[in-house]
């Protein structure tokens, strides 16, 4: 198959041995790359029931067939591992130059095993990989580490991914930072990297992978751009970026506010919404290979954070540190965001767990005596202080360093009721009450509590979804999730950004895949590929003893009890009905969500049939 090299770097940090893993053609056609290939590799290579923070865990970085092509938004890579937050399957997606440079070095990704006995980093180029000493950069924040490594390697244009002190100190929601402001943030992928004592990966290559039909790729891109140009979604996203989502969620009454207690917060308007962020923006920036340029570069003009610059903040961070903590100061949110990026924290989990702690403080469950300072709603100073403590595992921050579920287990006194997470993964700023399909994604996807695994708010143009997008009408969303999540699995196996797809028509994905790889993908084949990926991820969790049908639901976010006012008054997500619809559509068993044997064979997953049904 074109579009990939068919080989991965294989690195064992315990022994220091390095080698290569070949990807056979038929494996590439079945799983593509990214999340798809990662699903097969992690299932095959990881022993069952290992501790995520042990040398046995594996960290896999993967590009996709689109990486290095001219497909818009194709600078994404995925990190795959077993999550220290949920104890199950984890993939986390990020933009980053590193994906293009790994590909240019002649590899589709890397498999990292074992644990180094001293801090190290990986240096990758056309000649392969070297494990180098990171004693000098261990302890640095991610920005310093990236800058220092580029200087050390004498290559300002290298791709660098690194962890900050939060990863080194094993904060459970540590992220992996790339190009200073881009993160593979969720699930604790940076924690696993820190446990391996792997500070960073530096890559620089000079080869170009062959694509099947470059002319067709250019033609498709041109048509896509022409279509996107006249799309209102594209125009708005290009101008305002993701902060526009805050206006949408605020108006819709689904802007999580005060630790998910309310769905709207008027004080955000003009200050921390798209208008407020746009006023502070100095320019726009795009990830490499993308015409959407949805990132805004902001700068604080006055006050104690004057001069702080950021690529962002994105919607999730604005909401988590804004409405969720009742902070209406954009400079404070920018400062909180930069701190999280430098220290290597996922802003979603960080903001969520601080919201949980503020509610504990309000209710008198914790006091200034335990925390060391007042932890009142709206206190930017307290939030910034806690971010530092959580990353460094110091003071009261150490109690919050493993997410809201574990913090509530430590604090007790009924606080479990308002820890807003699924299986230890803190919920993001997408309230499922307006789009109940998202409430289903939070439970039924193999990575619980994640909003980017199937964005059911804005389906790609032309996709027949067969349900009424009206508040209260929940029937059919379970069925629709199968199609949408399968598309997203393939998108993230290909190495492209979801915003590219959401700005165009659904045909674009299989047409571009065919042009890049030379394999004639039909829409149905893309859906089957997505289902294959969903099925392996689910089987991985089953092997780990995880059954999503038994998850504890964060009822506050699911509308039980329902809100008493606003557009979502009296709405409760009918999660049992949605789960049943989804199980039926997937053909998974109603008690343990086990994939059906016949379907496993139809999808070419005979190895899973052997595993789940002891065949052969």
Q: Is 295 in the site for ligand SF4 (CB under 6 A)?
A: yes
**Complex with ligand SF4: residue 274 or 329, whichever CB lies closer:** 274
Q: Residue 471: phi, psi to the nearest 5?
A: -55, 135
Its sign, for the CA torsion 198, 201, 202, 203, is positive
Q: Is 407 in the site for ligand SF4 (CB under 6 A)?
A: no
Q: Cα(448)–Cα(288) distance, rounded to whole angstroms?
A: 29
Task: Give the binding range for ligand SF4 (CB under 6 A) out of 5-13, 133-141, 495-503, 554-562.
Answer: 495-503
Binding ligand SF4 by CB under 6 A: which of 77, 305, 321, 499?
499
Task: Give the binding range for ligand SF4 (CB under 6 A) out of 122-130, 340-348, 496-504, 597-605.
Answer: 496-504
Q: Return the SS3 of 249.
A: helix
Pairing assessment for the beta strands 425-426 and 421-422 based on DSSP bridges: antiparallel
Pairing assessment for the beta strands 198-203 and 120-125 based on DSSP bridges: parallel
Q: Cα(591)–Cα(145) distance, rounded to whole angstroms?
A: 48
Q: Is 150 in the site for ligand SF4 (CB under 6 A)?
A: no
**Complex with ligand SF4: residue 115 or 285, whichever CB lies closer:** 285
Q: In whole angstroms, what separates CA 172 from the centre of its chain?
A: 15
Pick left, alpha or beta for residue 337 (phi over 0 → left; psi -120 to 50 → alpha; otherwise beta): alpha
Would you tell me how many other CB atoms lie within 10 Å of the CB of residue 303? Answer: 11
Pick left, alpha or beta for residue 131 (phi over 0 → left; psi -120 to 50 → alpha; otherwise beta): beta
Strands of the 76-82 sheet, one edge to the other:
18-22, 7-12, 109-113, 59-62, 76-82, 89-95
Least gap, CB of 80 to ligand SF4 (angstroms) = 20
Q: Is 287 in the site for ligand SF4 (CB under 6 A)?
A: yes
Least gap, CB of 464 to ligand SF4 (angstroms) = 25
Helices then strands, each counted (H, E), the chain: 25, 17
Which of the residues 75 through 114 are near ligand SF4 (CB under 6 A)?
A: 95
The length of the chain, given as a count of residues? 616
H, E, C per residue of 438-496: HHHHHHHCCCCCCCCCCCCCCCCECCCCCCCCCCCCCCCHHHHHHHHHHHHHHHHHHCC
Q: Residues touching ligand SF4: how many (CB under 6 A)?
A: 12
**Complex with ligand SF4: residue 94 or 456, whichever CB lies closer:** 94
Q: Is 281 in the site for ligand SF4 (CB under 6 A)?
A: no
Instruction: For residue 398, give the H/E element and its range.
Output: helix 397-400
**Complex with ligand SF4: residue 21 or 233, whichever CB lies closer:** 233
Least gap, CB of 181 to ligand SF4 (angstroms) = 11
Q: Is 268 in the site for ligand SF4 (CB under 6 A)?
A: no
Least gap, CB of 297 to ligand SF4 (angstroms) = 12
Least gap, CB of 575 to ligand SF4 (angstroms) = 30
Q: Is 400 in the site for ligand SF4 (CB under 6 A)?
A: no
Q: Is 327 in the site for ligand SF4 (CB under 6 A)?
A: no
Would you tell me how many other CB atoms lie within 10 Å of the CB of residue 476? Answer: 15
Task: Give the binding range for ligand SF4 (CB under 6 A) out of 216-224, 348-356, 387-395, 492-500.
Answer: 492-500
Task: Give the binding range for ligand SF4 (CB under 6 A) out of 5-13, 363-371, 418-426, 497-505.
Answer: 497-505
Q: Is 497 in the site for ligand SF4 (CB under 6 A)?
A: yes
**Complex with ligand SF4: residue 287 or 358, whichever CB lies closer:** 287
Least gap, CB of 327 to ligand SF4 (angstroms) = 25
Q: Is 286 in the site for ligand SF4 (CB under 6 A)?
A: yes
Q: Cα(354)–Cα(42) distance, rounded to whole angstroms?
A: 33
Task: Give the binding range for ligand SF4 (CB under 6 A) out of 43-51, 59-67, 275-283, 287-295.
Answer: 287-295
Least gap, CB of 29 to ligand SF4 (angstroms) = 25
Binding ligand SF4 by CB under 6 A: which of 293, 519, 569, 596?
293
Instruction: For residue 384, give the H/E element and its range.
Output: helix 380-392
Task: Give the binding range for ligand SF4 (CB under 6 A) out of 34-42, 282-290, 403-411, 456-464.
Answer: 282-290
**Complex with ligand SF4: residue 114 or 241, whichever CB lies closer:** 241
Task: Give the binding range for ligand SF4 (CB under 6 A) out of 190-198, 289-297, 350-358, 431-439.
Answer: 289-297
Q: Is 216 in the site for ligand SF4 (CB under 6 A)?
A: no
Task: Give the binding range for ligand SF4 (CB under 6 A) out of 113-121, 382-390, 493-501, 562-570.
Answer: 493-501
Which of the residues 226 through 265 are near ligand SF4 (CB under 6 A)?
A: none
Q: Is 290 in the site for ligand SF4 (CB under 6 A)?
A: yes
Least gap, CB of 491 to ligand SF4 (angstroms) = 11
Which residues, including other chains, have CB under 8 Å from residue 326's CB and lie 6 or more apart?
257, 258, 265, 267, 377, 378
**Complex with ligand SF4: residue 73 or 109, whichever CB lies closer:** 73
Cβ–Cβ under 8 Å, residues 125 and 203: yes
Least gap, CB of 495 to ligand SF4 (angstroms) = 11
Q: Is 284 in the site for ligand SF4 (CB under 6 A)?
A: no
Q: Return the SS3 of 123.
A: strand
Q: Cα(42)–Cα(113) distance, rounded to whole angstroms?
A: 11
Q: Cα(542)–Cα(128) distance, rounded to whole angstroms?
A: 36
Six token digits for residue 285? 């920036």
Report the interface residues with ligand SF4, using CB under 6 A.
73, 95, 286-287, 290, 292-295, 497, 499-500
């Amino acid at each position: 198959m074109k579009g990939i090299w068919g080989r991965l770097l294989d690195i064992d940090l315990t022994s220091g041995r390095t080698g290569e893993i070949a990807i056979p053609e038929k494996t590439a056609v079945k799983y593509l790359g990214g999340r798809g290939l990662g699903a097969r590799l992690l299932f095959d290579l990881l022993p069952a029931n290992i501790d995520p923070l042990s040398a046995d865990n594996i960290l896999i970085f993967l590009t996709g067939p689109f990486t290095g092509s001219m497909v818009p938004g194709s600078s994404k890579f995925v990190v795959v591992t077993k999550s220290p937050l949920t104890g199950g399957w984890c993939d986390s997606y990020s933009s980053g130059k590193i994906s293009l440079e790994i590909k240019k070095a002649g590899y589709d990704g890397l498999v990292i095993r074992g644990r180094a006995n001293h801090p190290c980093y990986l240096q990758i180029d056309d000649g392969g990989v070297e494990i180098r000493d990171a004693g000098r950069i261990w302890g640095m924040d991610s920005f310093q580490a990236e800058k220092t490594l580029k200087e050390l390697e004498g290559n300002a244009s290298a791709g660098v991914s690194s962890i900050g002190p939060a990863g080194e100190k094993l904060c459970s929601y540590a992220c992996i930072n790339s190009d200073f402001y881009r993160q593979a943030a969720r699930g604790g992928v940076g924690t696993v990297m820190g446990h391996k004592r792997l500070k960073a990966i530096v890559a620089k290559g000079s080869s170009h992978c062959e694509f099947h039909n470059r002319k067709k790729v250019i033609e498709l891109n041109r048509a896509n751009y022409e279509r996107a140009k006249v799309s209102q979604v594209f125009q708005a996203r290009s101008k305002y970026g993701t902060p526009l989502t805050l206006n949408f969620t605020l108006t819709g009454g689904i802007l999580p506010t005060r630790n998910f207690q309310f769905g709207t917060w008027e004080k955000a308007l003009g200050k921390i919404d798209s208008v407020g962020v746009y006023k502070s923006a100095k320019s726009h920036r795009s990830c490499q290979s993308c015409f959407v340029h949805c990132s805004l570069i902001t700068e604080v003009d006055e006050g104690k954070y004057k001069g702080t610059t950021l690529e962002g903040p994105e919607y999730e961070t604005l909401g988590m540190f804004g409405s969720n903590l009742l902070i209406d100061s954009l400079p404070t949110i920018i400062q909180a965001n930069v701190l999280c990026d430098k220290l290597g924290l996922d802003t979603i989990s960080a903001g969520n767990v601080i919201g949980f702690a503020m509610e504990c403080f309000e209710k008198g469950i914790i006091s200034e005596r335990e925390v060391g300072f007042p932890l009142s709603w709206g206190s930017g100073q307290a939030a910034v202080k806690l971010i530092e403590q959580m990353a460094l595992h110091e003071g009261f921050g150490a109690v919050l360093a493993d997410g809201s579920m574990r913090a509530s287990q430590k604090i007790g006194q009924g606080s479990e009721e308002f820890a807003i997470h699924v299986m230890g993964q803190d919920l993001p700023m997408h309230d499922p009450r307006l789009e109940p399909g998202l409430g289903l994604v939070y439970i039924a996807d193999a990575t619980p509590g994640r909003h980017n695994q199937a964005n059911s708010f804005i389906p790609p143009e032309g996709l027949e979804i067969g349900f009424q997008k009206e508040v209260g009408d929940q029937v059919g969303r379970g069925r629709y999730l199968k199609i949408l999540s399968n598309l997203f699995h393939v998108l993230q196996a290909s190495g492209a950004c979801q915003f590219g797809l959401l700005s165009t028509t659904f045909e674009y994905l299989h047409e571009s895949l065919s042009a890049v790889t030379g394999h004639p993908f039909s829409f149905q084949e893309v859906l089957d590929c997505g289902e294959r990926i969903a099925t392996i991820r689910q089987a991985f969790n089953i092997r780990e003893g995880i059954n999503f049908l038994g998850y504890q639901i964060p009822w506050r976010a699911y509308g039980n009890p329902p809100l008493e006012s606003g557009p979502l008054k009296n709405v409760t997500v009918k999660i049992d009905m949605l789960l049943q619809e989804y199980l039926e559509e997937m053909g998974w068993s109603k008690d343990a969500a086990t994939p059906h044997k016949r379907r496993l064979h139809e999808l070419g997953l005979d190895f899973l049939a052997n595993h789940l049904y002891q065949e052969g």
